[in-house]
Amino acid sequence: MDKIPADQAIFLTMVRSSGERDDARVLINSIRTFGGVLSDYPIWLFEANPQAAPCQNLASANVHILPLNIPDTLKPYYFADKVFACAQAEEMAPPTVQSLIWIDPTCLVVKPPVLFDLGQSFDTAVRPVHIKNVGLLAEEPLDTFWQKIYETVGLTEVQRTVETFVGMQRIRAYFNSHAFAINPARGLLRQWLAYFTALVNDEAYQKAACQDVRHKVFLHQAVWSALLIAKLDPQRICNLPPDYNYPYNLHQSVPAARRAKALNDLVCLTYEERSLDPTQVEDIAIHDPLKAWLLAAK
């Protein structure tokens, strides 16, 4: 595929359905409206299901629609298309690009997400996961799921821990993937795809460790987390503050001391199935100009 000219950073997202296409439209507009110095950066929108959700009406001078054709062997894994899209973006990225910024379509940018612009300081910018899910407590021994992932990426052990934002549990390093930034020069996105594919195709591993839905769904995120720890100097990992990737979808479960008081206080958030219609939102404040913008975006 031909390389598309770009600035020092590129936003990436993906659409699978007509609902996600509508979400992506709002996300793109939020970047353009509230992104500040990043607002004019190119946006690459990967079209995972063009028959069900064609995205040509979202194309513009700086929004590029890119087809995504993942191998059949990966299709049963829900987030495999994200991994495939990221690897494709890394392969296409011009050498001037220092940051590929992935943002799920069910996210919103509220303030300039300047920490996603890595520059020369970092190789990635990530948040810890919100809840433990398939993660391991710091004192827990490795299970079959994580042990094979560590072996695959070249790790024997992980000393680094993070605290889950909602559950406030200390777990082995496990990072959220709603939104993150990575320097494509490190080649980690293509490695992510290679390791993920190897584990998907390992029938013995799948039968032993990925029989349940949760481990299948979050295999991609576990591989990503282990890969970052295996390949990057800890000083090159930017630990994003809590106003990045805020889980509005889990807002009622967030501990009171950590719960955002207003959407305007955040940099970016994920909302998934929750409405951002100010006429329906009752559990968090929304002030102008964001309130008026959201009313117009409905």
Model's pTM, two decimal places? 0.94
User: What pLDDT is stored for residue 78 in this prediction?
Assistant: 86
Q: Which tens digit of pLDDT belongs to each residue from 36-84?
A: 999 999 999 999 887 766 777 887 878 999 999 888 889 889 899 999 9
Q: Which tens digit of pLDDT belongs to each residue from 165-186?
A: 999 999 999 999 999 999 999 9
Per-residue confidence of the chain (298 residues) as pLDDT tens digits?
344 445 689 999 999 988 899 999 999 999 999 999 999 999 999 998 877 667 778 878 789 999 998 888 898 898 999 999 999 999 999 999 999 999 999 999 999 999 999 988 999 999 999 999 999 999 999 999 999 999 999 998 878 999 999 999 999 999 999 999 999 999 999 999 999 999 999 999 999 999 999 999 999 999 999 999 999 999 999 999 999 999 999 999 999 999 999 999 999 999 998 999 999 999 999 999 999 999 998 7
The strands making up 107-109's β-sheet, listed across from edge to edge, are 107-109, 268-270, 246-247
User: What pLDDT is stored for residue 60 in this prediction?
Assistant: 81
The second-level CATH assignment, the architecture, of 9-132+175-187+233-297 is Alpha-Beta Complex (3.90)
> Which one, of 54, 104, 96, lies nearest residue 78 by Cα?
104
**At 58, is the secondary structure helix, strand, or coil?**
helix
Q: Strand 170-172 vs strand 237-239: parallel, antiparallel, or unpaired?
A: unpaired
Start-to-end CA span in the chain (Å): 35
